[in-house]
Amino acid sequence: MSNVSTFGSFSMAKLAIYASQKAMAVTGNNISNINTPGYTRQSLDLNSLYVGGADQFSSKWDAKIGSGVIVSGVSQIRSPYLDIRYRTENTNVGQADKRLEALNELNRVMDEVGDGTGDEGVMEAALQGLIEQLEYYTTEGAGRDDFDAILRGKADEICKVYNTIGTKLEQIQKNQEASFKQDVETANEILKKIQHLNIAIRKAEIHGSAALELKDERNMQIDELSKYVGIDVMYEEEDIGGGFMVDKLVIKIAATDSTNKDIHGKLLVDGQFAGQFKVEDLEETDAAPDGDEQETVKPKEYKMELGDLKDRYGLTAYKQNPIKATETVFGFNMVDNDTNSYTLKIDNTEVTFDANQNKTVEDKLKEFAEKYNADERNANWSVQVVSRNVGTGSTASKEFGLKFTAKSDGKLGGDFNSNTEYPVLEDSQFTGDGPVYVQADGQDPIKVQEGFEIPQGDITGSLDMCKELLTHKYDFSGESGESAGIPYYQEMWNQSARKFAELLNEANSMVDENNVLKADAPVKAENYYQTNADGEFLDANGDVLTPNADGGYLDANGVDQRVARKQYQGGTLFEASGGGLLTAKNIAVSQDWINGKSQVMQSNTDTSLEQTTQNSGLRHLLSIMKDNKVEYQNKNGDPIFTGSFAEMLTKLDSTLAIDTSKTQAELNNYVTSLNELTVDRDSISGVDLNDEAIAMMQYNKSYSAACRFMTQLDQMLDKLINGTAV
């Protein structure tokens, strides 16, 4: 017969009331936190209580009844699978969002759609404005005095637009750099927060708390971290002694390529330890250090690293269980003249002892030691056979072991296999199941994870995207498969400005830098009258001609060398303001042009005749402006685009637009997916008012039923006590 207690059922009723009350409290907590960010729905862990087992009075005819309900705790309802998917998607969102943010900035500078008067675009209109004026002067304005000034005005307009774009692109690059560093700071803050939360949760769990709210906060931080870098999250059990286990959160890097073991699986957080990202600005190099005229932008290089794993005080974490000793002894409980065979393998040395070798343990170990020490691969350790006396009197015997002395840091491990169990000696370091880490005296201990560099493209998330945007030169780099970063656009705009200046300068002068008529000049030397440094016209002999009132130019004999007309006067039209390589930011109308030393060359026709309305020079410039065969090269000098100046702008705009459009579509996909995952996650972990209303009704009823049960018991006992055998 099972134990019968008069008031036992009262306890059952009491537990039932207690359970319903607690459940109602959990429901109330859920409803209260319905709007709390990151809150995970909680539920009460209820277990049916059964007291007792087989006892001396037990009988097979006995009916064993449970003792009610036990509240064993409160738990959260989460789906690890959805967490992984959410965070993976969040990494994609972070990456695409960061890219789109920068591309939108670039679009604000470069996108000309709908800009300018009549939606013509700003740069487009400036270029077409110059072409239009050249058309006009070629047709009816050749010879007019005002044409040079008007064309200069138009050219200046183009320079100003180039300058604005060049300056703004530089500003975007600076802003992006600041954003990169800020993001690194934020990611580090998150890592720190997670580290602190890990410590708090560990403590709470040791003290028996489930720390659910802390876990909610931690989950939110992990979600946030996943925006910056792709991660794998794992929960490991940590033995804190006494057979008590607590959860340990481990966050690892999910590299772009999971086979890249240098990065993939590296620890970001390991329980109470966490790493911190570091960004080092590598020294900026000169614009063209190798004299490469092609390249004008040398973007700053950044070295991104993950530092050593450290604890919250900033102290480096070391391997969990390093043996702080310079020597270790492996003992083996073997016997002399053994009839069994066995193999001893330690470090790189392996010796098999066959059965019936008629050797003592000491001899066998000596043989092993000798072989071990002779092996050059075993550089970290030296070994010698040691013995100790055990037992006394008739039980006195000797035990033998191998004493390893460390020469430097290293690990030591091995196997001891035999067909008979020969356990290692109890106090031996040798456990036979894995390597033993030994730290040599005076040497640094082994770090849990040494800091390492994270190369561009090896990780996912917004941090890597920031770096990509800051450094990638896409087409210009000549490397395939790269995406365009800000330096690409800077470089191509610079090249666009430079080609514009170079080609027009080249076309507008028939002399070289030494003021000597070029070999391929369209004019014969006898027909060309160059100017000296003061802008005076010279005849074929280099003598200065004197202008007269009729617009003629007289030689020393007073003969009008009218052919020395201004139509041949060309010169530099554009230059780099402030010197150096010409870029979009510094292109300017040359000082010579402003001062009148240079002017647009009206004619390049080879003749000794006076041709006041000859337009061949202007027409040549016009052809260059419209020429669709201007070649743009990458840094290796290979052509990457051929087209007119205006077409080059379209090429840049469309490259940016296609990238933006693609990134926008990607982001839309990721965000849609993330939204779905948010809802899916919420469907598991979120609070629903209907659910809670049902729970309220349910617990209300169960509470009433438990109370009713107690009343009923009371009535029954009252009958028994007061109404029975009266």
Partner 1 sequence: MVSYRLTTNGLLHTYRSNLQGSFNTLGTAAEKVQTGRKFLSYAEDPASATLAFQLRREHWQASAQKRNNSTVEKSFQQAFSSFDMVKNKIASETAHVNSLRGLNDPDGTARRTLGQSTLEAAKSAVQTMNVKYGEKFLFAGADGKNAPFDWKEVPVEKQQVYDPETMGADIPKVYAERTQKVDADGKPIIGADGNPEYYEKGDPMKDAEGNQLYYQKGELMLNDKGDPLMETVMEEKLCFRGVPVDSPEKLADGTDNPDYLKLKEMMAETTYVDIGLGMQEAPDGSPIKSTVYNSALSGLQFTDFGLDEDGDPKNAISLMNEIGKLLQEASDMDGQWHKVEGTEDEWTNSSEAYDRLFKLTAKLEKAMDKMDVEYTELDTKAAFLQTNETRLTTEIKELNEQILDVEEIDPVEAITALSWAQYCYNAGLKIGNSILSQSLIDYMN
Judged by CB under 8 A, the chain residues 614 through 633 that form the site for partner 1 are 614-616, 619-620, 622-623, 626-627
Which CB atom, from 8 or from 28, has the smaller least distance to partner 1? 28
Interacting positions 5-64 with partner 1 (CB under 8 A): 34-35
Closest CA to 349 of 330, 368, 321, 362: 368
Residue 276 Cα to chain centre, angstroms: 13
Looking at 125-133, 301-309, 343-351, 534-542, which segment touches partner 1 (CB under 8 A)? 125-133
Binding flag, residue 686, partner 1 (CB under 8 A): yes
Interacting positions 65-94 with partner 1 (CB under 8 A): 79, 82
Binding flag, residue 172, partner 1 (CB under 8 A): no
Q: How many chain residues bind partner 1 (CB under 8 A)?
A: 75
Which CB atom, from 123 or from 317, has the smaller least distance to partner 1? 123
Interacting positions 236-275 with partner 1 (CB under 8 A): none
Cα 134 to Cα 114: distance, rounded to the nearest angstrom: 26
Which of 9, 27, 90, 138 is the binder for partner 1 (CB under 8 A)? 138
Letters for 487-526 (x = contact with partner 1 by CB under 8 A, - = none) are --------------------x------------x-x----
Question: If you compute the radius of gyration of the chain from its CA atoms, what whole number of angstroms results?
Answer: 43
Interacting positions 519-558 with partner 1 (CB under 8 A): 520, 522
User: Burial level of 269, CB count in 10 A (0-12/13-18/19+)?
Assistant: buried
Which of 94, 121, 271, 570 is the binder for partner 1 (CB under 8 A)? 121
Distances (CA, A) of 220 to 116, 213, 224, 359, 551: 46, 11, 6, 66, 83
Q: Which two tokens stand for residue 339?
A: 């009839």
Residue 452 CB, shortest distance to partner 1, in Å, is 37
Cα 12 to Cα 1: distance, rounded to the nearest angstrom: 20
Which of 691, 709, 710, 717 is the binder for partner 1 (CB under 8 A)? 691
Residue 445 CB, shortest distance to partner 1, in Å, is 46
Q: Which two tokens stand for residue 354?
A: 């066959």
Binding flag, residue 683, partner 1 (CB under 8 A): yes
User: Burial level of 71, CB count in 10 A (0-12/13-18/19+)?
Assistant: middle
Residue 139 CB, shortest distance to partner 1, in Å, is 4
Which CB atom, from 82 or from 713, has the smaller least distance to partner 1? 82
Binding flag, residue 323, partner 1 (CB under 8 A): no
Residue 476 CB, shortest distance to partner 1, in Å, is 20
Phi, psi of 269 (to 5 degrees): -135, 135
Binding flag, residue 607, partner 1 (CB under 8 A): yes
Q: What is the DSSP string of 198-246?
A: HHHHHHHHHTT---HHHHHHHHHHHHHHHHHS-EEEEEEEEE-STT-EE
The neighbouring-strand residues paired with 553 are 547
Q: Which amino acid is at 401?
A: G
Which of 305, 362, 458, 688 is the binder for partner 1 (CB under 8 A)? 688
Which CB atom, from 186 or from 664, has the smaller least distance to partner 1? 664
Binding flag, residue 107, partner 1 (CB under 8 A): yes
Looking at 6-14, 49-57, 104-112, 359-367, which segment touches partner 1 (CB under 8 A)? 104-112
Binding flag, residue 696, partner 1 (CB under 8 A): yes
Which of 335, 516, 689, 720 is the binder for partner 1 (CB under 8 A)? 689
Which CB atom, from 128 or from 164, has the smaller least distance to partner 1? 128
Cα 7 to Cα 717: distance, rounded to the nearest angstrom: 9
Binding flag, residue 704, partner 1 (CB under 8 A): no
Answer yes or no: are the C-beta atoms of 390 and 399 closer than 8 Å.
yes
Q: What is the DSSP string of 42-71?
A: EEEEEEEE------TT--TTPPP---EEEE
Residue 702: CA count within 13 A, CB half-sphere: 19
Cα 439 to Cα 521: distance, rounded to the nearest angstrom: 79
Interacting positions 174-213 with partner 1 (CB under 8 A): none
Residue 702 CB, shortest distance to partner 1, in Å, is 16
Largest CA distance in the chain: 161
Interacting positions 352-391 with partner 1 (CB under 8 A): none
* Sign of the dihedral through C-alpha 386, 391, 392, 396: negative
Which CB atom, from 280 or from 506, has the smaller least distance to partner 1? 506
Residue 463 CB, shortest distance to partner 1, in Å, is 25
The neighbouring-strand residues paired with 402 are 330, 385
Which CB atom, from 119 or from 281, has the smaller least distance to partner 1? 119
Residue 619 CB, shortest distance to partner 1, in Å, is 6
User: Cα–Cα–Cα angle for 632, 633, 639, nearest 5°?
Assistant: 90
User: Burial level of 28, CB count in 10 A (0-12/13-18/19+)?
Assistant: middle
Binding flag, residue 221, partner 1 (CB under 8 A): no
Q: Which two tokens stand for residue 65?
A: 């009844």
Residue 478 CB, shortest distance to partner 1, in Å, is 24
Which of 251, 344, 656, 706 is the binder for partner 1 (CB under 8 A)? 656
Looking at 142-150, 380-388, 393-401, 462-470, which segment touches partner 1 (CB under 8 A)? 142-150
Cα 184 to Cα 279: distance, rounded to the nearest angstrom: 8
Q: Which residues of 426-460 are buried (b: 16+ CB within 10 A; e: fewer)?
A: eebbbeeeeebbbbbeeeeeeebbeeeebebbbbb
Which CB atom, from 88 or from 272, has the smaller least distance to partner 1? 88
Looking at 149-157, 206-214, 347-355, 654-662, which segment touches partner 1 (CB under 8 A)? 654-662
Which CB atom, from 323 or from 503, has the smaller least distance to partner 1? 503
Residue 692 CB, shortest distance to partner 1, in Å, is 8
